[in-house]
Amino acid sequence: MTFQRTHLQRLESRMREKRRFIQVLAGPRQVGKTTLAQQLMQQLGDIPTYYTAADAVANAGITWIEQQWETARLTLQQSGAPELVLVIDEVQKIANWSEIVKRLWDEDTRLARPIKVVLLGSSRLLLQQGLTESLAGRFELSYVGHWSLSEMQEAFGWTPEQFAWFGGFPGAADLIADEPRWKQYVTDALIETSISKDILMLTRVDKPALMRNLFELGCAYSGQLLSYNKILGQLQDAGNTTTLATYLGLLGQAGLLSGLDKYTGNRITQRGSSPKFQVHNTALLSAQSADSFSTIRLQPDKWGRLVESTVGAYLINEGLADDFRVLYWREGGHEIDFVLEKRGKIIGLEVKSGPGPAKTSGMAAFQKNFRPDRVLLVGDGGLPWPEFLRIRPNELF
């Protein structure tokens, strides 16, 4: 039996409700969105479905969406069924897609056509732009992020240590016994495809080489804080800090790499802080590393930083799905690795999985300055990091 992510049950439940909203699934490449759609169609055995993908059609335009929608309408009519589910994959590849979807959806609403719609896309930025501009009030958005430790354990039997190094890409799971091959696959099929197809082909990027270099630098320094001036000093043809911040934002929207803002208690000053690099999936870091799974375990400092990045990647994916922010805090010699913020509630997290004592002074200073709802030590001396990765962070608030 094919592994089923938790998104499937929620999506099937919504599809069996009366026609109410367009369901939108957004998330990075190779996390199983298309598989999820196929599983949904199998689960809805008593409801006719029609699947189509813009990714497989060269130069597809809004006319193509109209053609597919009309085919779905005809399929519903010929089936004699009371309703039909239309699934459009990689919809963000179509220019002005949201305008035509709005018109067709509203036509079906006006004429009481019982066609339910699921849209899938791997560019969260372009999806959200279209949803905000044209489809306000007509959709529900679900983030389908990178796979968690619990999912990789259940589907592939991985240990927490394997997950920390090889990350959460299910399509590459069978290759880890041949690590050079696994690294090549992640680099070519995941990293390069995400950058070239989900960013460069769909968004204006004046300096693509700079953005690629920024991505490589950010992966190498994941879990570490670098000022934009230091970043500029390590990159050639770096332009200015605004360009770097824009490119880092695009990489984050593609589910690759983010720059965490500093928590200050004031949203205005958070934006001007130096970014703390954080990969969304540790496979992106490991695939570009000269180390291997066997050698990284023998280097406590590097292993500790990897564990911190593993925790950070989990928090980012959960935050995108459950709508909480992930930040960091540093003041003078005091530091907190991660700060979670949701609706006025604050949680501080310190990750300890390496040599040396835990940085409890940072936790004490953070508590004194901000009076958070909770402060947790994850790792040595606190909650073991594999156990933390099985907790839903949203339940901590």
Domain total of the chain: 2
pLDDT tens, 211-252? Answer: 999 999 999 999 998 887 788 778 766 667 888 899 999 999
Q: 88 with 119, same domain?
A: yes
C-beta atoms surrounding 344 within 10 Å: 7
- Is 1 part of any domain? no
Q: Write down the pLDDT at residue 236.
A: 67
Q: 214 with 320, same domain?
A: yes
Least Cα distance to 390 among 195, 200, 155, 148 occurs for 148
- Is 322 part of any domain? yes
- Give every CB contact of residue 297 below 8 A, 6+ residues apart in sequence: 161, 303
Q: 224 with 247, same domain?
A: yes
Helix residue ranges per DSSP H, 228-299: 228-234, 241-253, 267-270, 282-286, 293-296
**Boundary-marking domain end, from 113, 143, 173:** 143
pLDDT tens, 251-262? Answer: 999 999 999 999
pLDDT tens, 97-122? Answer: 999 999 999 999 999 999 999 999 98
Q: 271 with 291, same domain?
A: yes
Q: Write down the pLDDT at residue 272.
A: 60
Least Cα distance to 143 among 392, 322, 321 occurs for 321
Q: 242 with 104, same domain?
A: no
Q: 237 with 354, same domain?
A: yes
| Residues 386, 27: Cα–Cα separation, whole Å | 24
Per the rule left: phi > 0, alpha: psi between -120 and 50, beta: everything else, 30 is left
Residue whose token pair is 């010929």: 78
Tokens of 274: 């130096």
Q: 209 with 117, same domain?
A: no
Look up the pTM and report it: 0.91
**Boundary-marking domain end, from 80, 110, 143:** 143
Q: 262 with 371, same domain?
A: yes
The residue range of the domain holding 208 is 149-396
Any idea what the CATH number is for the domain that residue 65 is in?
Answer: 3.40.50.300
pLDDT tens, 370-391? Answer: 999 999 999 988 999 999 999 9
Percent of the chain with pLDDT over 90: 74
pLDDT tens, 315-374? Answer: 999 999 999 999 999 998 899 999 999 999 999 999 987 666 666 789 999 999 999 999
Residue 269 has pLDDT above 80, yes or no: no
**Boundary-marking domain end, from 143, 178, 212:** 143
- Is 328 part of any domain? yes
pLDDT tens, 275-301? Answer: 999 999 999 999 999 999 999 999 999
Tell me, rounded to whole angstroms, the distance of Cα 182 from its chain centroid: 21
Q: Write down the pLDDT at residue 356.
A: 63
Q: 178 with 324, same domain?
A: yes
Tokens of 166: 């090889």
